[in-house]
Chains A and B, each alone.
Chain A
Amino acid sequence: MSDEPIKKVSIIVSKGSLEGVYPGLIMANGARMEGIEANLFFTFFGLHAIVKKKMNNLKVATVGNPALCVPDAMGMAMPTILGAIPGMSAFATMMMKKEMEKIDIPPVDEFVEMISDAGGKIYACKATVDMFKLKDEDFCPQMDGVLTVGDFYEMSAGSQIIFT
């Protein structure tokens, strides 16, 4: 007997860096492309991915990231202390966005819209919304609602939960 196919996923995005947000978006979009139901739940700094003013200004974290290399991802290891130089994060972000554009990975606002148009649901975490003092108008129009952790578990009945 073959294994049961995945029917539904709930993906939690908890990090607000560029490399923290994209894996969740790619997995949610990929799920919809396979006919899998997808719910995205943004919490803590991950919430920046659906806040209008923040979503297209996410940056690659260069401090405390020992995986960074120069001049590109497969180059020589970059001493971690260089990550703290002003402008380093902006530079790494620009490089990564350029590479993403080449393989047709959309900017965050466009990606969230694509997932929403594909039938994926976009939710914000209530605790974070309260903590950051955010209002409905701060969010992108695709945001489907603010959920408590209880709501989230209820909505995730029968799904695989993925934390990123």
Chain B
Amino acid sequence: MPSKEIAGTTIDVNEEGFLTDRSQWNKDVAAALASEEGIELTDEHWKVIDFIEADYAEKQAIPGMRRMNKVGGIPTKDLYRLFPNGPIKKAARISGYPKPASCV
């Protein structure tokens, strides 16, 4: 299991770069993971991250696109704009969660 130095702390990640211990996650880690994807986090990004965090606490799963739309109130177009080329996968990684395990 590789570990790496990021945002002044050490995090454990799997081969695909997803955190394996969410207790190591904080806002600075999120910002550093985002910049690896070429994303600078804005309030709009944080709205997505906050929703994933709240929904994961409830369901123990990353919300799919439809749940992001209907429950999170975040339109599909916005998600693709904020996290280009793989919105939910990238948002999950930046939020410190495992890779989404859903087909939709």
Contact = CB atoms under 8 A, between A and B. Distances in A.
Contacts, number: 44
Given A33-B88, A35-B85, A104 B104 contact: yes
Interface of B: prevailing SS? helix
Interface in A88-145: 103-106, 110, 113-114, 117-119
Interface size class of chain A, counting residues whose CB lies under 8 Å from the partner chain: 10 to 19
27 contacts: A26-B103, A26-B104, A29-B104, A30-B103, A30-B104, A32-B80, A33-B65, A33-B86, A33-B87, A33-B88, A33-B89, A34-B85, A34-B86, A34-B89, A35-B86, A103-B102, A104-B64, A104-B67, A104-B102, A104-B104, A106-B66, A106-B104, A113-B76, A114-B66, A114-B76, A117-B77, A118-B76
Given A29-B65, A33-B65, A34-B86, A117 B80 contact: yes
B59 to A, nearest CB: 11
A142 B75 CA distance: 16
B64 to A, nearest CB: 5
Most chain A CB within 10 A, of B65, B84, B86, is at: B65
